[in-house]
Structure formats: structure tokens, C-alpha cells
Structure 1
Amino acid sequence: MHAVGIVAAAGSGLRLGADRPKALVPLADRPLVCWAVDTLRDGGVADVVVAVPGDELSAFATVLPLDVRLVVGGSTRTASVRAALAAVGTGVDAVLVHDAARPLTPPDLVVRVLEALSAGARAVVPVLPVVDTTVVVDDDGGVADTVDRSVLRRVQTPQGFARDALVDAYAWLPPDAELTDDAAVVRAAGVPVATVAGDERGAKVTVPHDLALAELQVSR
């Protein structure tokens, strides 16, 4: 199975308090995006496309391997993935979409996603159980209800798709639509989404505390 990886790396570093795009923020002296690309390649996805801010193309080209393809991303995650998907081309069986902000995702999670696609899944996402009590709050911030957490899962990346399923879903999606992830895009187009076990190491780096935790993990 020929799979191509897409890394969404066009986001800003505002919530991280960074003076550069989040994907270029260093973790153990390496930009987050480099960790994400390595995860895909170590898991068996050699061909990688990275969606980056248009004014930072040279900065990303400096830190990434020469054979990584760079495309200009959009103002939203959905727009960035759409742009990267257009660069994937034909002759591809599967596409894995990964977040640059999940630098410590282990390669064996990539393997699980690829195996699920090889077994016939059209779309697959890694998930983790929700371990905290989860509630619904009203407009005043009061607790209105408690949600049954046994049926809830936290979704991670990389998310994997049969290429034609993802291409068709994005073709169906209105250009100005913004969904939270690519699984939501294919589900909106009627494609069932399977799950595989996620990994706590694949936590997302969003705020400074997340980056500090990641630094602790790589320094062990």
C-alpha cells in the first residue's frame, strides 16, 4: 500500500506564546514539525507533504529534509489540509494526516493506522478513553448534566484515509467550511470512521505547559 503523509503545520504559535509558527518551535533543539515528519517516516510513510505558512517557506525548507514537499497552507486547518491533499497526486492508496503539534506520537501508532487501512477501513482515527468526569454546563456555567464517559473518546492523529475517500469528501465540502479534523470531513460525506488505540505520548502541544511536559519526556 502506497501511503502519503500530510503534516498540518501552518498554525500560529500565539497560544504557545511563541514568536514563530508553532511547528517551528523547538523541542529538545528540534522544531516540532521535524518530530512529526520523523514519526510518519519511522512508522512506514516515506512520502510526506507539509502545509506551511506562505511567508515561512524558506524557514521550513531549512529545517526539513530536502525530499519533504512543502505547500502553502491556508488560514484554517481545513484549508491547509485541502492544499496539501491537492499536492498528493494520483497513484496513492492512502493518506495519513498528522498534526505538527503532536511531536512525540510513537511510530507504532502510525503502524496501527496503516494496518487498519490495509484491512479495509476507509477512514480510521486513533482514540483514547476519557478518564475524567465530564459534564454539560448551562449558559451560567452551572452543571446541567453528567455525560456517560464510557462512550466518549479523545481523538488523536495521524488519521488515515483511503485517498479517494478523503479527496471526494473534500470535493464535497464547501470551500468556506471549517471542521475540527479530517475524520469530521469524511463523516460529513457519509464515510464510516473506524478507530484504533491511541497513545498518551501523542498529546498535543498547545500551551507552554504542554511544551514543558514534552521537554520532560524527551529528557528522561
Structure 2
Amino acid sequence: MAWSVAALLDGGVAEVVVAVPAAERDEFAAALPAGVVLVEGGATRTASVRAALAAVPGEATAVLVHDAARPLTPPAVVSRVLAALVAGAPAVVPVLPVVDTTVAVDDAGIVTGAPDRGSLRRVQTPQGFSRAALDAAYDRLPVGQELTDDAAVVRAAGIPVGTVPGDERSAKVTVAHDLALAELMVGAAAPEPAAGTVLR
């Protein structure tokens, strides 16, 4: 979580609100920088985003929603999202091309088709929105309805979503294999210790 917050701040975000489990609030407060606002998350992703949005300062004109499960997101990705919002995009997401052959299957697991991957993209976070667009989209989303991400929420409200280049380092850490890869990337990026340095 601390790395995700650092990426947002280094990328140009002015204020950070984090939705956390109520029982772990003190632990998050101890691990995160002073000034980060903590709110109690909900039972679902959408409920947590609603809670965090309610705590965003009223004067904020743009909001980024980031998944803390992407701790190695480079600040440059954050900056690209912010730049697109400044340029007038009401909503923008970082994306990467789909490099594997992708197929559709039926209920029996039989391949029924292969969409052209040239038009497909993998969506990452942070996803950026004008504050007005995101608030309006969530106001229209029925309570209890769950969509896969915030871009889906604004698209359901008829708001166009633009894209900027993402980064392979923004991979989501969800299973043990993902964590192992993230640890390898962190280790590969660590600087060599200076002569005489003692590592503990």
C-alpha cells in the first residue's frame, strides 16, 4: 500500500484517500505517510470507492482511482493519466496491448471464436476522471450493482473513456506467482550497496 501511495504522490497527485478495513486502520495509519486520509472500506469494491469519493475534498476537480494491488506502478503512468485529464478527457485509463491469442468459449469450454486482438487492450490503474463525471456516474449506478472497474461505471453512464500507455510493471499482484515476480522486479531494481555498507 505504501508503494502505491508513493507512486501517486510522485506522479503528481495532490491528496490521497485510502479505503481500508476498519479492523486494520491503525496498521495502515502507521505504514502510510502523514496526510493520507483513511476511510473505512465497504464490503465490495464499489462500496469502498463510494466511501473514498465521499472523503475527497470538494475543491478537487479530478480524481484518480488506483488499485493498491498494483504496487509497482511507475509514477510516469500516473503523470500520463493526469496529463490526459488536464487536456480535457472526462475519463482515461492506462492500457497495454493484448499479446496472447484470445478466444471466446461456450459453457462447455469449446472455442467459439477468436476476436481480433489488434483492438483489444489490458486495462490498468490508476484510472482518472473529472470529478463531475465520476460523481455523476456513481449517482446513476444503482446501489448494490457491481461493475468490474470505475471505467465501466462511467461508460455505463455514457461517458467516453480515453486511454494512455500503461506499463508492464503495473501488473496486479493477486496470487503467489504474481508476488514472486514483483519481488524479482524489486530486487532487480535495487541499487548495489556502496563499499563498506552493512546490510541487515
- TM-score bracket, normalised by the shorter chain, equals over 0.9
Q: Which residue of 1 aligns with 2:46?
A: 78
Name the % identity: 70
1:148 to 102, 116, 130: 116
Q: Which residue of 2 aligns with 1:107?
A: 75
Letter in 1 for 2:68: A
1:117 aligns with 2:117: no
Letter in 2 for 1:198: G
Letter in 2 for 1:170: Y
- Distance, in Å, in 2 between the alignment partners of 1:91 and 1:62 is 27
1:190 aligns with 2:155: no
Shift of 1:113: 0.5
- Distance, in Å, in 1 between the alignment partners of 2:111 and 2:82 is 40
Question: Deviations along 1:131-185, whole A, 9 cap, x unmatched?
Answer: 0000111111111111111111000000000001101111111110111100000
2:144 to 173, 176, 198: 176
- Give the aligned length: 188
Shift of 1:59: 1.2
1:210 aligns with 2:194: no
Letter in 2 for 1:188: A
Q: Partner of 2:16: helix, strand, or coil?
A: strand
| Structure (1 or 2) with the greater strand fraction | 1
- Distance, in Å, in 1 between the alignment partners of 2:162 and 2:113 is 28
Letter in 2 for 1:173: L
1:53 aligns with 2:44: no
TM-score, normalised to structure 1's length?
Answer: 0.84
1:68 to 15, 28, 36: 36
Letter in 1 for 2:151: A
- Distance, in Å, in 2 between the alignment partners of 1:159 and 1:136 is 26
- Distance, in Å, in 2 between the alignment partners of 1:168 and 1:89 is 16
Shift of 1:89: 2.7
- Distance, in Å, in 1 between the alignment partners of 2:127 and 2:65 is 5
Letter in 2 for 1:80: S
Shift of 1:46: 2.8
Q: Partner of 2:88: helix, strand, or coil?
A: coil
- Distance, in Å, in 1 between the alignment partners of 2:114 and 2:155 is 26
Misfit runs of 4+, over 3 Å = none
Q: Name which of structure 1's ranges 55-64 and 154-163 shifts more when overlaid on structure 2.
A: 55-64
Shift of 1:80: 0.4
Letter in 1 for 2:178: D
Calculate the aligned-residue CA RMSD, in Å: 0.7
TM-score, normalised to structure 2's length?
Answer: 0.92
Letter in 1 for 2:57: G
1:89 aligns with 2:64: no
- Distance, in Å, in 1 between the alignment partners of 2:54 and 2:141 is 14
- Distance, in Å, in 2 between the alignment partners of 1:207 and 1:189 is 32
